[in-house]
Structure 1
Amino acid sequence: MKKERLNVKNKKVVFSEAWKVEVLQDNHFNPKLSANEVLLKKRYTLISPGTELACLSGNESWFSMPTVPGYSAVSEIIETGIDVKDFNVGDVVFHYGTHSEYEVAKVDGVFLKVPDGIDLTWVPFVRMATVAMTSIRVSNIELGDMVMVTGLGLIGNMASQLAALQGASVIGIDLSQQRLEIARECGVEHVLAGNADVKEKVRGITTDRGVSTLIEATGVPSVSLDHVSSVGKYGEVILLGSPRGACEANVTDLLNRIHLNDLGCISFKGAHEWRYPLMPDVFVKHSLVRNSRIVFKLMQQKKIKIEPLISHILLPDEAPSAYEGLRNKKDEYSGVLYKWQ
């Protein structure tokens, strides 16, 4: 006879209104599981700075408030539905989880057991790496290419590391000296401050040929326009960061760089995470599940560096200060994890 679960207290981070973060507690959390669902207790969740701050601003139409945000989690299964066969109580799993102590989740999609030998604080970064991996998947990056990445936050840093694994020499650009130092620690070959002479420095590194691929990871629309002149002939611009905010510009020069052979014949490509399907399919090579498994393998082999990206491990009660830091102290706050146990 199945033992009845007692009510649990479920602490959660809530965006209650624009720029207002609260930590609330549901004292009567006692969900009923469907046949293919599990009840999870979180170990760690990771803040996605770009997405979550955009949601917290109130400017994302798809995100309504009050809502529990969340992006990526590592959790322990504490109860399973009657049809769950491949997972057991006690398994530790990676999934796209919210910032709450407990959560009910289906066991399909990106819901994977954590392989042996991986630090649990690294696991939520799998999603950041798979987001970044989309830029590599859609690109033409080959062994020996020069690649420039604008924006060295979590996503841009990961894209830089993955482009290097693809065989490229990478130039990472950011305004933050701290992010530049983290990129160096993660093995990015060239790191440049995004100041007035950065284009000259890129020309010097590439011996006037320009880069073959520009991965734009900031999401600031003007950055693509500012740096497209550093892309060499028949090169490409990969839009990895989701563009946000207004930008007024005369786009004729940009269109000519795309259109005219003597100005480069440059291609622009979108690299949103959901470009690829969730599950593996015999007719599609890439999927989010496959990408996640590849990232786990890279972590096991120590081919990507995660530790330098972790700036803070905080308790959920510290959530308001976490978002304040990510918003206003970008040199100090980057990879912020909530520790739930």
Structure 2
Amino acid sequence: MKNKRVVFSSPWKVELLEEDFNSQILREDEIVVKKLYTLISPGTELACLSGNESWFSMPGTPGYAAVSEIVDVGDDEHSFRKGDIVFHYGDHSKYQKVSVRGNVLKVPETMNLRWVPFTRMATVAATSIRVSNIEFGDDVGVTGLGLIGNMAAQLAQLQGANVIGIDLSGKRLEIAERCGVFDLHNGDVSSAKVHVLEKTNGAGVSTHIEATGIPQVGVGSLEWIAKLGEIVFLGSPRGEFNGDITDVLNYCHLYNRGCITFKGAHEWRFPIEPNEFVKHSLVRNSNIVFDLMNRIKLQVEPLISHVLAPEQAALAYEGLRNYKDEYFGVLFDWS
């Protein structure tokens, strides 16, 4: 059968390749899936497309969030069968051979299939909640309301927090409002500080989730975190930043500067599959997200900006790079 896959062939060059797909002999733990929808992760994939991510080799196929139909199985010992609809960490291709030993989950029959790939974004966002000390009634800030920041804000509210969402994009703020985020601020770090301190009666937020990945924003947000509070780095820091590291570290070290705890929230800090020695896993988080989406407690539909054919891949990445207010949640429809 013929396979199609999106390929980053060189920096800022996107192609769609067509080739024969031969699954050959499947191992016992392997299945072949036919993609229905895959979701672009804008921050990660644009960084890969720039050629600045050392772990991504060109030419290469990006992508890590998919909903698919199983078309072949290697062994009947596991619970997966042909025809099952599954969520998995799939790339942007029509067919793919994957192992069931990982985060491969059957999709609830009642679930909107366009929402399913967003499970990956939600579990990434959930890491910031898992590592935090957020409790019912806490004030929480979120800088950057893209897909992951938006979901982090929604999940923090479900945790019982009073969330202040901050972004420079009016469109992202509008989408966050449609997703039910209550307090939103359009402005830079300086104006955000004024807004946050006003909303918290001068105390600052007890938890701040930094989802932009811009180092300057993370450093600037230290000024509105409450004493003994925490900053959670959800967005992977990228780009060069020159500053006084001693001043930054004193926000952590000195009580009169806040005695702030710095935390990393990269998703891979938790195991993929359930483990009796660790409470949380990516599988557990994914199942919880399924439930929240199904009950419309976690909003997804407002996050979908485009559903495009794979043949429009170059257009999709150009839009995400240059027209950020118009392109944000972009799905490829492989059906």
Fold agreement, TM-score > 0.5: yes
Task: State the one-letter code of the partner of 1:167.
Answer: G
Q: Pick closer, same or farther for the CA change 1:215–1:171 going to 2, 3 Å.
A: same
* Other-structure match for 2:174: 181
Q: Does 1:194 align with 2:160?
A: no
Task: State the one-letter code of the partner of 2:231.
Answer: V
Q: How is 1:191-230 mapped onto 2 (pairs within 5 angstroms)? A: 191-195=184-188, 196-230=190-224
Shift of 1:84: 4.3
CA distance in 1, matches of 2:19, 2:150: 37
Q: Does 1:251 align with 2:257?
A: no
Shift of 1:250: 1.2
Unaligned runs of 5+ residues in structure 2 are none
Shift of 1:85: 2.9
- Residues 274-319 of structure 1: CA deviation (Å, up to 9, x unaligned): 0001110110000001100110111121110000000000000000
- Residues 157-200 of structure 1: CA deviation (Å, up to 9, x unaligned): 00000000000010011111100000011111111112342211
Q: CA RMSD in A?
A: 1.0
Residue number among 63, 88, 97 corresponding to 1:70 in the alignment: 63
* Other-structure match for 2:6: 13
Q: Does 1:153 align with 2:146?
A: yes
CA distance in 2, matches of 1:21, 1:317: 10
Aligned residues of 1:73 and 1:95 also touching (Cα < 8 A): yes
Shift of 1:30: 4.6
Q: Which moved more, 1:210-219 or 1:80-89?
A: 80-89
Q: Does 1:239 align with 2:225?
A: no
* Other-structure match for 1:91: 84
* Other-structure match for 1:110: 103
* Other-structure match for 1:124: 117
CA distance in 1, matches of 2:312, 2:212: 26
* Other-structure match for 1:313: 307
* Other-structure match for 1:44: 37
Runs of 4+ in 1 over 4 A off after TM superposition: none
Q: Which moved more, 1:313-322 or 1:79-88?
A: 79-88
Aligned residues of 1:36 and 1:83 also touching (Cα < 8 A): no
Q: Name the SS of the counterpart of 1:187 in structure 2.
A: coil
Q: Which moved more, 1:19-28 or 1:126-135?
A: 19-28
Q: Does 1:276 align with 2:293?
A: no
CA distance in 1, matches of 2:181, 2:289: 18
Shift of 1:321: 0.6
Shift of 1:83: 4.2
Shift of 1:227: 1.1
CA distance in 2, matches of 1:288, 1:19: 31
Q: Name the SS of the counterpart of 1:247 in structure 2.
A: coil
CA distance in 1, matches of 2:23, 2:229: 55
CA distance in 1, matches of 2:74, 2:266: 33
Task: State the one-letter code of the partner of 1:98.
Answer: D
Q: Name the SS of the counterpart of 1:219 in structure 2.
A: coil
CA distance in 2, matches of 1:289, 1:187: 26
Q: Name the SS of the counterpart of 1:23 in structure 2.
A: strand
* Other-structure match for 2:136: 143
Indicate the percent of aligned positions where both proteins have the same amino acid: 61
CA distance in 2, matches of 1:221, 1:229: 14
CA distance in 1, matches of 2:295, 2:21: 43
Aligned residues of 1:84 and 1:107 also touching (Cα < 8 A): no
* Other-structure match for 1:5: none
Q: Name the SS of the counterpart of 1:197 in structure 2.
A: helix
CA distance in 1, matches of 2:63, 2:326: 21
Number of matched pairs: 334
